[in-house]
Amino acid sequence: MSVRIGDTGAGGRAGIFRKVLRDHKSAAVGLALIALFVLVSILAPYLSPHSAVESSCAVFEPPSARHWLGCDDGGVDMVSLLMHGGQTSLVVAFTATLVSMAIGGTVAIVAGYFGGWPDTVLMRVTDVLLVLPDLVLAMVIAAVWGPSLFHVILVIGLLQWTSTARIVRAEVMSLRERAYVKRARGLGASNGRVIVRHILPHVGPLLIANTVLTVSAAIYLETALAFLGLQDPSVTTWGTILEHAFARTAISSGAWWAIVPDGFVIAAVSIGCFLLGRAIEDALNPRLKVSHLSGRRWRLRALVAKGANAR
C-alpha cells in the first residue's frame, strides 16, 4: 500500500467537474435546471399549493389565480400534479440511470480490460441491442411482466446501457495500454486492484457524462411506456399525466392546460441534461470516434459540439 504508481489522486477527478462548471456557462445552466427540478420534486409535499390526489376545483377548470395551470379531469390542481409527478418521474429516471450505469460500466470494463472472447461476446450483444428498437422492446417486456413502477425502472435500465458501454470501453482499452497501468501490473497488482485503483477512477467522469444523458433518455422512455398504459396506474408521473389527459377527453374538452405544461417540464429537464452532459464531454474531450451504431444522442451531441466549436 506504500507504493503508489501513476495515481493521479482524487483531486484530479473532482477537478474536472470544477473545471466544467467554471469554463462552461451552459454546464451551470444545465446543472441549475436539473437541481431546480430535483429540489421542487423533493419539496413537493410542502410546496404544492393543493392536493395532488383530491379535487380542489371544477373538472377541467381553466387556469386562474388560484390554480395557475388549471385542473385535470378529476378537478385536481395541475401544478400540484406536476410537482408530485416529477417526484416519481425523477426517481424512475435516476434509478434506471444507476442500473444502466452499473451494467454499462461493468460491460465496458470487462470487455475493454480483458479483451479476447469476453470482449467479442459483450460487444456483439451490445451491437444487437443497439439495433433493436428501444421502445418496442420495452413495450413488449413491460407488457409481459405487467405494469409496475419497478418493472419500468428495470426495463429502462436494461436497455439504456449500450452506448455508455461502447464509449467507456474505448477509454478502458486506451487506459489499459498506459505506462502506469502496465507498471502497476508489473509490480504485481492484481487485475481487481488495477481496475479499482487505476481504471475506474479514470473512466468515472466519462461514465458520468454519459449517464447525465441517460437521465433524459429514461424520462422519454418512461413517458412513452406510461402513455401506452404500461405504467402502474396508481402512480403519478409526467408520463401518466399525458396518458390521463389523452385517455380522459382533455382534447375534446379543449383543456390544453392538462397537456401543454407537462411537455415543457420534460423538455426543460432534458435540455438541462443535454447542456450539462455536453459540457462535461467537452471538458473531457475524448476522441469521439464513435461507431455509427452507438446511440443517437451521443452522435448528435458530438456533432453539435463540433459545430459549436466551428463557429
Partner 1 sequence: MRVLEYVLRRGIFSLVTIFLAITGNFFLFRVLPGDAVSNLAKVPHSTPELQHALMVRFGLDKSKWDQYLIYLKNLLHGDLGVSFTYQESVSHLLLDDLENTVVLAGVGTLGAIFIGILSGVMSAWRRSSPLDHLNTGVATLVYSFPAQWLGLVLLILFAGVLPAGGMSDQFLFDSPPFWQHAADVGGHLVLPAATMILTAYGGYTLVVRSSVLETLGEDYVLTARAKGIPARRVVWRHAVRNALLPIVTMVALDLGYVVGGAVLVEVIFSWPGLGMATFTAIGQRDYPMIQGAFLILTVSVILLNFVADLVCFRLDRRVSA
By CB under 8 A, name the binding residues for partner 1: 124, 127-128, 131-137, 139-141, 143-146, 220, 223-224, 227-230, 242, 245-246, 251-252, 254, 256, 259-260, 262-263, 266-267, 270-271, 274, 292-293, 295-296, 299-300, 303-304, 306-308, 310-311
Q: State in angstroms the smallest separation of the CB of 21 from partner 1.
A: 21
Q: Which is nearer to partner 1, 113 or 274 (CB)?
A: 274
Q: State in angstroms the smallest separation of the CB of 203 from partner 1.
A: 24
Under a CB-based contact definition with an 8 Å cutoff, are residues 258 and 72 in contact? yes
- In the block, cell 463557429 appears at 311
Q: Which is nearer to partner 1, 208 or 271 (CB)?
A: 271
Q: Which is nearer to partner 1, 2 or 252 (CB)?
A: 252
Rounded CA-CA distance 29/7 in Å is: 32
Q: State in angstroms the smallest separation of the CB of 125 from partner 1.
A: 9
Rounded CA-CA distance 185/169 in Å is: 19
For helices 78-109 and 260-284, the axis angle rounded to 10 degrees is: 30
Q: Which is nearer to partner 1, 113 or 238 (CB)?
A: 238
Which are the contacts of 281, defined by CB distance < 8 A and separation ≥ 6?
A: 209, 288, 301, 302, 305
- What are the φ and ψ backbone dihedral angles of 77, each rounded to 5 degrees? -60, 125
The partner residues of 71 in beta bridges, in order of sequence, read: 77
Q: State in angstroms the smallest separation of the CB of 277 from partner 1.
A: 13
- In the block, cell 467507456 appears at 168
Q: Which is nearer to partner 1, 103 or 184 (CB)?
A: 103
Q: Which is nearer to partner 1, 35 or 308 (CB)?
A: 308
Rounded CA-CA distance 252/28 in Å is: 41
Q: Which is nearer to partner 1, 38 or 228 (CB)?
A: 228
Under a CB-based contact definition with an 8 Å cutoff, are residues 113 and 195 in contact? yes
Q: Which is nearer to partner 1, 94 or 220 (CB)?
A: 220
Here the cell at position 145 is 411482466
List, in sequence order, the alpha helices (H) in the chain.
Answer: 9-23, 25-42, 44-47, 78-109, 116-131, 134-145, 149-159, 162-176, 179-186, 191-194, 200-227, 238-247, 260-284, 296-310
Q: State in angstroms the smallest separation of the CB of 239 from partner 1.
A: 8
Rounded CA-CA distance 86/97 in Å is: 16
Q: State in angstroms the smallest separation of the CB of 309 from partner 1.
A: 9
Q: State in angstroms the smallest separation of the CB of 157 from partner 1.
A: 17
Q: State in angstroms the smallest separation of the CB of 160 from partner 1.
A: 13
